[in-house]
């Protein structure tokens, strides 16, 4: 039930939020552990806390691949359609995942690595398109198709847990399932500007994602699965809220001249 309902429902909720508050919000939400969280929870329940702790520690390295996917997809979307962009970004992400699975890096080292990579990706992203997201008449099948695509991808990744070790399971847990679905659908229906706006939100969500994986890795064995995941979810939301609040405070004020120039075509 978790595999078939929770992650797809969270992807649908992120998509609806993007339509209401902008595609950047959608990108930030799908970069949170809305899919990897259920995958790690299922892994802990099926394979045990020790396996889950190792998988969560490895998932920190998987966030490097998630950031790389966002960067590759954003740049390719400016030249290609959704299918070739998605396939190339997936291929590059899988290659990086296989390389990272060979590394053994504890959570105390993995956390700062992810934070540095997230900062670097924000600097390397293509320019954030100006203006606001244009309104479109979304087809009736859009949200059900996103949910179905998410469910299929989650089933594939979680089914591999019984065949591979915790290292590869953890690295694959943050595989860009939700990000792929939302970015590909947005690219197909809003074009490259909309997809780039989505992917600009991904590095902003890595802070909360990394905090989640770190806390699950260090707490699931001593505290148990339920308590560890509860603490991790609460800390993730608190960290993301604090980061967003800090970003608003340091944002420079807009001058009247800037608004005038922004309205020009």
Domain range spanning residue 194? 2-250
Question: In terms of pTM, does the model score above 0.85?
Answer: no
CA separation for the pair 150, 49 (Å, rounded): 25
CA separation for the pair 94, 9 (Å, rounded): 25
Asked, for residue 258, whether it belongs to a domain, the answer is no
Tally the residues of the chain.
265
Burial of 247: CB neighbours in 10 Å, binned 0-12, 13-18, 19+: exposed
Q: Which residues of 215-224 are buried (b: 16+ CB within 10 A; e: fewer)?
A: bbbbbbbeee
Asked, for residue 47, whether it belongs to a domain, the answer is yes
- In 3D space, the residue among 111, 181, 172, 100 whose CA is nearest the CA of residue 146 turns out to be 181
Asked, for residue 139, whether it belongs to a domain, the answer is yes
Asked, for residue 264, whether it belongs to a domain, the answer is no
Asked, for residue 263, whether it belongs to a domain, the answer is no
Burial of 88: CB neighbours in 10 Å, binned 0-12, 13-18, 19+: middle
Residue-level pLDDT, tens digit, the chain, 265 residues: 666 777 787 778 777 777 776 666 666 676 677 777 877 888 888 888 888 888 888 888 888 888 999 999 999 999 998 899 999 998 998 888 888 877 777 888 888 888 899 889 988 998 876 655 555 667 767 778 778 877 777 777 666 655 666 556 666 666 777 788 888 888 888 888 888 888 888 887 788 888 898 999 999 999 988 899 999 988 888 877 776 665 554 444 444 444 344 344 4
Asked, for residue 51, whether it belongs to a domain, the answer is yes
Q: Which helix (H) or strand (E) holds 108?
A: helix 107-124
- Domains contained in the chain, number: 1
């Amino acid at each position: 039930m978790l595999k078939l309902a929770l992650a797809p429902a969270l992807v649908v909720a992120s998509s609806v939020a993007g339509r209401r508050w902008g595609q950047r919000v959608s990108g930030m939400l799908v970069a949170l552990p809305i899919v990897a969280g259920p995958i790690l929870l299922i892994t802990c329940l099926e394979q045990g806390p020790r396996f889950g702790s190792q998988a969560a520690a490895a998932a920190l390295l998987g966030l490097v691949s998630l950031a790389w996917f966002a960067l590759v997809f954003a740049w390719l979307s400016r030249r290609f359609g959704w299918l070739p962009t998605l396939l190339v970004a997936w291929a590059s992400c899988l290659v990086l995942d296989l390389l990272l699975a060979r590394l053994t890096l504890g959570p105390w080292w993995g956390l700062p690595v992810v934070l540095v990579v997230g900062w670097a990706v924000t600097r390397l992203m293509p320019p954030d398109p100006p203006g606001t997201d244009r309104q479109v008449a979304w087809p009736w099948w859009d949200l059900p198709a996103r949910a179905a695509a998410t469910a299929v991808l989650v089933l594939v990744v979680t089914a591999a847990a019984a065949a591979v070790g915790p290292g590869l399971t953890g690295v694959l847990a943050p595989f860009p399932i939700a990000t792929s679905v939302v970015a590909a659908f947005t690219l197909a229906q809003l074009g490259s500007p909309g997809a780039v706006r989505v992917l600009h939100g991904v590095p902003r969500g890595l802070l909360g994602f990394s905090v989640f994986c770190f806390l699950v890795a260090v707490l699931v064995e001593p505290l148990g699965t339920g308590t560890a995941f509860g603490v991790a979810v609460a800390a993730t939301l608190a960290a993301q809220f604090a980061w967003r609040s800090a970003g608003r405070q340091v944002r420079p004020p807009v001058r009247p001249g800037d608004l005038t120039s922004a309205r020009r075509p």
